[in-house]
Structure 1
Amino acid sequence: MPWNSTDYPDSFNNLDTPVRKKAIEIANALLRDGTEDGRAIEIVTEKAREYVGGDVKQEIYKVLKHSDGWQLQKDSGTNAISVAATKQELLDKAKPYVNEHNGVLKIYQEDGSLQDTMYDYD
């Protein structure tokens, strides 16, 4: 169940407001990707504190159309990190990769317009 600023886990009660807001955002991203509620709560508190405290630097990754299907690349780079025939196949690889690298994933449509942003903790 996604959380919001009025409906969130009891363990978020003692967090400062900016940290709590960030924890809710991170937890919702994890839930969207299939993480169980309890595990999401364990993960997010420290990550939210780090982010609000300014200790986290996030690389931006992009999912873009490619001549051979779809590609994952760093925003600051030009070479593909991974290429897949379908967008879904690439997303299945990209989401864990970006999460492990503490990044932000920007997903683009075939026409180049931004479709979605995931792991966006700001």
Structure 2
Amino acid sequence: MSWTKNDYPASLKNLPRDVRNKAIEIANALLDEGYEEGRAIAIATDRAHQSEEGSTPDKTEYHVTPHDDGWQLKKADGKRAILVESTKDKLLSKAKDYVTDHSGTLVVHKQDGSVEDHLYQR
């Protein structure tokens, strides 16, 4: 399903018009490549924000992954956990603030290690 400037996912509703239009364009291209809708929206939103701000995709990536003691937040190339919590929900609330404060992006993984979501943090 392709989206238009007048018919798009509710998750894009609160984006600035220029960012939303760019996200719609990118999401449609990702759908054409076979991406699942939710994943296409997340990626498109991130890329549209980057395009709008003139930033490059070299922002620091932080990953939420399973840990022996629950869940951890690590820098993409980091060796040690920045934060560790017993549950994913507890970690996510802290991780989002941390990543926002450090102008990064947050990649959330499932228990099996596959990517669940990719969030752009301001």
Matched position secondary structure for 2:95? helix
* Residue 96 of structure 1: how far off its partner (Å): 1.4
Residue 61 of structure 1 contacts residue 73 of structure 1 at CA under 8 Å; is this kept in 2? yes
Tell me the matched-pair count. Answer: 93
Bigger drift between 62-71 and 109-118 goes to 109-118
Q: Who is 1:48 aligned against?
A: 52
Note the residue ranges of structure 2 that are not aligned, 5 or more in a row.
Answer: 7-12, 27-40, 43-47
Residue 96 of structure 2 contacts residue 121 of structure 2 at CA under 8 Å; is this kept in 1? no
Q: Who is 1:78 aligned against?
A: 79
Superimposed CA distance per residue, residues 95-114 of structure 1 (whole angstroms, 9 cap, x where no aligned partner) = 11112212111111111111
Note the residue ranges of structure 1 that are not aligned, 5 or more in a row.
Answer: 30-43
Matched position secondary structure for 2:54? helix
Cα distance in 1 for partners of 2:50, 2:111 equals 36
Residue 73 of structure 2 contacts residue 83 of structure 2 at CA under 8 Å; is this kept in 1? yes
1:103-118 aligned within 5 A: 103-118=104-119
* Residue 115 of structure 1: how far off its partner (Å): 1.1
- Relative distance call for 1:85 and 1:64 in structure 2 (3 A) is same
RMSD: 3.6
Extract structure 1 runs of 4+ deviating beyond 3 A.
44-47
TM-score, normalisation: structure 2: 0.59
Cα distance in 1 for partners of 2:50, 2:71 equals 33
Residue 61 of structure 2 contacts residue 75 of structure 2 at CA under 8 Å; is this kept in 1? yes
* Matched letter for residue 48 of structure 1: E
Residue 107 of structure 1 contacts residue 115 of structure 1 at CA under 8 Å; is this kept in 2? yes
